[in-house]
Amino acid sequence: MNITYMAELLATVSERASRLVGLGPKPRSTAERGDIAALAADLVSHRGEASGVAIAREIIARYDALGTEEKVRFLSGLVERFGPDEERVARAVEAWRTDPSPAAVSELHIAAEPRRQELLRRLNLAPGGTLALVHMREDVLDLMGDEPNLKVLDIDLVHLFSSWFNRGFLVVRRIDWSTPANILEKLIEYEAVHEIDGWDDLRRRIEPADRRCYAFFHPQLADEPLIFVEIALTTGIPSAIGPLLAADRKPLAPKEATTAVFYSISNCQQGLAGISFGSFLIKQVVDELKRDLPQLTTFVTLSPAPGFAAWLDCERNAETSPLSPSDRQTLDLLDRPGWHLDKAIIDRIEPVMRHAAARYYLEARTAKGRPVDPVARFHLGNGARLEQIDFIGDTSPRGLAQAYGLMVNYLYDLERIEENHEAYADKGATAASSAVRALLKRDTSSRELA
């Protein structure tokens, strides 16, 4: 395979966007075309077959200029006026009720496909169409709260994006200091876990030899990372984020590293919410790292516990709780400003916090029987294992506010991912190390005596 030939293919994709602007058939004046809703109707008509690119471009340009109310009107119109052919649905339903054969089901599926789907596919004909549709979904997500009928449109977009952003079409790329600046600035913008404080901070995260960063890209959105993960190479499982990000730390020679720590993973496109990439990215990056640095033995995260403080406050105030009354009393120390800097408090509070964290991760459950913590749901759902509780891992204001400083490590052991995932998916079971499990038993003897 001639890689450069392929590479030029993609270059062409992007060029097209700029070049085509102003080209192509413009057989009808804008006035003649009517408003954006009429254009949408055109696009799924015979006209759209002949002049799809031009009409799609026009719709996208106009949509971009709409105010919120007009957007609601346009989007609602898509829901109301671009459903399926009602008669065909009715016929398909009758046929299926008579004989629910595979062919009848297939016809039912097809008949019930709203014309919106074809409309959305044709909007993609425009240069920059894919990104425009991702942004349109951002709007839908924003507006859906007030306009519940848009939920149907959201389903259509998710359906489409599931096909288009199939992991088979995504490309993983290493991000480093030789990456174009316009990509790098998006890392600064999108970093969701540990904020990047300008170019010097960014550089510290991607240039040193013991740092890695990878992102998924889609060929159609080449300047837009979809998701990225930041990694530190270390010699053991770290228990706090501060030392990893310290400006004055001394880099490790990559050959000496034994552990890759995924300390931040951030989605970039709100409009792709719910289209899952993270699991694939982590697994592929584990593969890449193993290839480059075969001596690596351990792949872990250093993760926040975003729901811990809220849960713990609940427990502290609840009538009944799995936490003992004395433990709950100890936790009042958390209300003292600067508690995390006070050695005496830390010593008293640590075993209680570790025990509480174990209960939070292993026992606290949502109505659907899943862990309360959203980050836990993500990593456990990927087949990772809860490996370690990091008491006082993140003393940033956010870290203290959302989790009283607590962090955790999830371990990605590729040999056990499938097994863990199945147990989790089938039974909601939380894979956890024996050390974490042991924390469930609160041996209070010694301390109670004190």
Residues within window 135-194 making contact with its own copies, judged by CB under 8 A: 149, 151-152, 155-156, 159-160, 162-164, 166-169, 171-173, 177-184
Other CB atoms within 10 Å distance of the CB of residue 298: 18
Whether the CB-CB separation of 224 and 182 falls below 8 Å is answered with no
**For its own copies, the closer CB: 12 or 297:** 12
Out of 255, 291, 368, 441, point to the residue binding its own copies (CB under 8 A).
291
Report residue 172 as tokens: 């993983």
Q: By rule CB under 8 A, what string of x and - marks binding of each residue 192-221 to its own copies?
A: ------xx---x-------------x-xx-
Q: Any catalytic annotation for residue 379?
A: yes
User: From the CB of 267, what's the least distance to its own copies, in Å?
Assistant: 18
Q: Rule CB under 8 A: say whether 369 interacts with its own copies.
A: no
Helix (H) or strand (E) holding 144: helix 129-144
What CA–CA distance (Å, rounded) separates 349 from 358?
14
Out of 35, 197, 256, 287, point to the residue binding its own copies (CB under 8 A).
287
Candidates 310-318, 346-354, 396-404, 416-424; binding stretch for its own copies (CB under 8 A): 416-424
Q: Rule CB under 8 A: say whether 88 interacts with its own copies.
A: no
Kindly tell me the burial class for residue 179, based on how many C-beta atoms sit within 10 Å of its own C-beta (0-12, 13-18, 19 or more): middle
Q: Rule CB under 8 A: say whether 21 interacts with its own copies.
A: no
**For its own copies, the closer CB: 197 or 443:** 197
Task: List residues bridging with 321 in a β-sheet.
Answer: none
Q: Which of 303, 340, 396, 446 is flagged as catalytic?
A: 303
Kindly tell me the burial class for residue 38, based on how many C-beta atoms sit within 10 Å of its own C-beta (0-12, 13-18, 19 or more): exposed
Q: Rule CB under 8 A: say whether 73 interacts with its own copies.
A: no
What three-state secondary structure class fits 371?
A: strand
**For its own copies, the closer CB: 15 or 195:** 15
Q: Rule CB under 8 A: say whether 347 interacts with its own copies.
A: no
**For its own copies, the closer CB: 8 or 363:** 8
Q: What is the DSSP string of 332-401?
A: GGGGSTTGGG-HHHHHHHHHHHHHHHHHHHHT-B-TTSSBS-HHHHHHHHTT-EEEEEETT---SHHHHH
User: From the CB of 46, what's the least distance to its own copies, in Å?
Assistant: 4
Counting Cα atoms < 13 Å in the Cβ hemisphere of 165 gives 28
Touching its own copies, residues 107-126 (CB under 8 A): 108-110, 112-114, 121, 124-126
Amino acid residing at 125: L
List residues with catalytic annotation. 303, 379
